Amino acid sequence: MEIFFQLFWLFFILSTLSPYFNQQMLLAARARRITDLERKRKSRVITLIHRQEGFSFLGIPFARYIDIDDSEQVLRAIRMTDQSVPIDLILHTPGGLVLAAEQIAEALLKHPARVTVFVPHYAMSGGTLIALAADEIVMDPNAVLGPVDPQLGQYPAASILRVLEQKPIAEIDDQTLIMADVARKALIQVKRTVAGLLRKHFDEQKSEELAQLLSQGTWTHDYPISVEEARNMGLRVSTEMPTEVYELMGMYPQPRGGKPSVQYVPLPYGREEPGPRPR
């Protein structure tokens, strides 16, 4: 019986520590992959990847967004980078706090050496704001950017202002009027920020036109801006994504409950011989 209890506690301790050691091994693998990419491109590589990994309570994952902690970390990495060293930012995010995104974008804009933003899947809202600060945006052919119009709670700022155009002031409650005032200011501020970022590549008129298009509620906030549409806007977009970026993204697994909804044989398939090749 004593041996049984000893084995039980040994199993319990190993089961408890196993996730920690697995996480440390994953962090070490990511660091090696980042170092390999830095050596290949002779740059500083920074990742801003928002998964729900490691953020869960009772099995319910919490969503991740750009926040002040992110901006502090990215700004610290930029400060530690010599002005002659290029910066490569790998970006995967649904967006987040405007203040944090603006801080990151402005810091990248001020970096004298070349700045490249890699978007392997999506960089929406504040992520697009950050991407606009780059000398070049490298996107997967199927990746997307998004509009940068500000949101007040669950409502788009531009939509709140539409209420003032459609109803007499006497029929609008005080809270909506206050929100409309804040919405107007938010739209002005974001447009000014976007126009300032775009002046790195465009003249005054073009910068203002693009800032208007991207920040003033032209589309819904989740509208996908494809590679082709981004290029038509005049943005410097490439699709030459390094293999190492995809491999690094694979090291940020999305936690799922139950069986996976997507499954495939993780091997490259050739056109002449579909299916995995025998070894």
What digits encode the pLDDT tens for the residues 173-182? 999 999 999 9
Q: Tell me the pLDDT band of 56, cut-offs 50, 70 and 90.
A: very low
Round to whole Å and give the CA distance between 238 and 172: 47
Helices in the chain by DSSP H: which ranges? Answer: 2-41, 68-79, 98-110, 126-131, 157-166, 174-198, 204-215, 227-232, 243-249
CB of 131 closer than 8 Å to CB of 123? yes
Band of pLDDT at residue 219, cut at 50, 70 and 90: very high
The answer to whether 64 and 50 have CB atoms below 8 angstroms apart is yes
Of 7-11, 24-28, 163-167, 195-199, least confident by mean pLDDT is: 7-11
Query: Greater confidence, 258 or 172?
Result: 172
Token pair in block for residue 210: 């693009």
Quick count: other Cβ atoms within 10 Å of Cβ 3?
7
Q: Which pLDDT score, from 0 to 100, does residue 53 have? A: 45
CB atoms under 10 Å from CB of 237, counted, come to 23
Give, rounded to a whole angstrom, the gap between the first and last alpha carbons of the chain.
49
Longest Cα–Cα distance in the chain: 82
- pLDDT bin (cut points 50, 70, 90) of residue 194 is very high
What tokens appear for 196 in the block?
A: 């300032």
Q: What is the pLDDT of residues 123-146, one digit of tens each?
A: 999 999 999 999 999 999 999 999
pLDDT at res. 135: 98
How far is 267 from 178, CA to CA, in rounded Å?
Answer: 56
Torsion from C-alpha of 57, 60, 66, 69, nearest 10 degrees:
10
Task: Give residue 27's pLDDT.
Answer: 76
pLDDT value of residue 24? 72
CA angle 104, 105, 110 (to 5 degrees): 100
